[in-house]
């Protein structure tokens, strides 16, 4: 599998007389400057997500055209979880991924959601209470230093979160550490559209329209300028698969959804030998 080149060099006008270079030039006008790195990024992202927490669910539904629910369900179907298992959702946000996991493992199982944004965690707790899901709990924590023992969970998931961590290799390593041998790490993440025909409308929607949607719904616009920039600066699907393998995961694969706009990565922790 080979990632497409994300240059702005479509050779023919494909849609409305524009080409991909036009989309790239237009998008560049709306993209924020480079994202901070390291500890500065961690603090920046935590403040950002704490600020947008009240509008997070609404904007997720609007920007994904409600497809984010189906994407999570598909990701959970790849988890290998069985009733009675124990799962961890990292960068859990307001809890939607954790709720899908809880439905999968049932009342005899358990799910823990972790996020470094206290407002996000508090909203997740409120939603869990309303849904009557007693098998799921939420706590604050950092993906780069998970507060759990080795081999604690049957599956670890992360949805739309790896772009936001301060140290990607460390976060993947931590997820690998806390799953049991034979368990899976499942990552659902925004990626880059593969279709050359759809590249222009995707760029216009994601890079240009998204910040305006945030303003329309009175959410913090800078957070939704950060979103496309974080995707632009994030590694490719192939590079993320390589990070999974470097952490010790095996049978690593990925599945594109929505023509590559979203990608699911899966890796399995090897069974202990001897």
Higher pLDDT, 83 or 14: 83
Beta strand pairing call for 86-90 and 153-159: parallel
pLDDT above 90: percentage of residues in the chain: 60
Q: Rounded to an integer, what distance in angstroms lies between the CA atom of residue 233 and that of residue 228?
A: 9
Question: What does the pLDDT average to over 133-152?
Answer: 97
User: pLDDT (tens digit, 9 = 90+) per residue, 145-180?
Assistant: 999 999 999 999 999 999 999 999 999 999 999 999
Least confident span in 15-29, 30-44, 108-122, 164-178: 15-29
Higher pLDDT, 186 or 18: 186
Domains observed in the chain? 22-268 (3.40.50.150)
Residues with Cβ within 8 Å of residue 136, at least 6 apart in sequence: 95, 98, 99, 101, 102, 110, 111, 112, 113, 128
Residue 221 in this model has a pLDDT that exceeds 90: no
Question: What does the pLDDT average to over 67-93?
Answer: 96
Q: Rounded to an integer, what distance in angstroms lies between the CA atom of residue 228 and that of residue 259?
A: 17
User: pLDDT (tens digit, 9 = 90+) per residue, 100-120?
Assistant: 999 999 999 999 999 999 999
pLDDT at 164: 94
pLDDT at 274: 62
Confidence at 19, pLDDT banded by 50, 70, 90:
very low
Least confident span in 136-140, 205-209, 252-256: 205-209
CA-to-CA dists, residue 34 to 28, 45, 88, 199, 226, angstroms: 12, 13, 31, 22, 9
Q: Do the Cβ atoms of 178 and 24 come closer than 8 Å?
A: no
Report the length, in residues, of the chain.
274
User: pLDDT (tens digit, 9 = 90+) per residue, 245-258?
Assistant: 999 999 999 999 99
Question: What does the pLDDT average to over 85-102?
Answer: 97
Residue 8 in this model has a pLDDT that exceeds 90: no
Q: What is the pTM of this model?
A: 0.85
Q: Mean pLDDT across the chain, nearest whole number?
A: 86
Q: Rounded to an integer, what distance in angstroms lies between the CA atom of residue 241 and that of residue 124?
A: 29
Q: Do the Cβ atoms of 166 and 42 come closer than 8 Å?
A: yes
Q: Rounded to an integer, what distance in angstroms lies between the CA atom of residue 188 and that of residue 170?
A: 18
Q: Rounded to an integer, what distance in angstroms lies between the CA atom of residue 249 and that of residue 229?
A: 28
């Amino acid at each position: 599998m080979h990632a497409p080149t994300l240059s702005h060099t479509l050779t023919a006008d494909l849609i409305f007389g524009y080409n991909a270079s036009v989309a790239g030039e237009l998008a560049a006008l709306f993209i924020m400057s480079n994202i901070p790195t390291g500890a500065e990024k961690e603090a920046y992202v935590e403040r950002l997500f704490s600020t947008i927490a009240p509008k997070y669910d609404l904007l997720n539904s609007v920007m994904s055209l409600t497809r984010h629910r189906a994407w999570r369900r598909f990701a959970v179907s790849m988890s290998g979880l069985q009733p009675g298992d124990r799962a961890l959702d990292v960068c859990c946000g307001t809890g939607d991924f954790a709720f899908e996991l809880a439905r999968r493992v049932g009342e005899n199982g358990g799910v823990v959601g972790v996020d470094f944004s206290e407002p996000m965690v508090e909203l997740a707790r409120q939603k869990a209470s309303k849904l009557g899901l007693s098998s799921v709990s939420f706590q604050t924590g950092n993906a780069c230093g998970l507060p759990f023992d080795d081999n604690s969970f049957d599956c670890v998931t992360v949805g739309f979160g790896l772009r936001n961590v301060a140290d990607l290799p460390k976060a993947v390593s931590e997820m690998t550490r806390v799953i049991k041998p034979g368990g899976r790490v499942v990552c659902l993440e925004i990626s880059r559209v593969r279709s050359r025909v759809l590249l222009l409308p995707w760029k216009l929607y994601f890079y240009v329209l998204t910040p305006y949607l945030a303003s329309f719904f009175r959410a913090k616009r800078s957070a939704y300028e950060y979103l496309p920039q974080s995707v632009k600066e994030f590694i490719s699907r192939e590079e993320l698969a390589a990070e999974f393998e470097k952490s010790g995961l095996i049978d690593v694969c990925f599945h594109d959804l929505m023509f590559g706009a979203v990608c699911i990565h899966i890796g399995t922790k090897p069974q202990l030998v001897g």
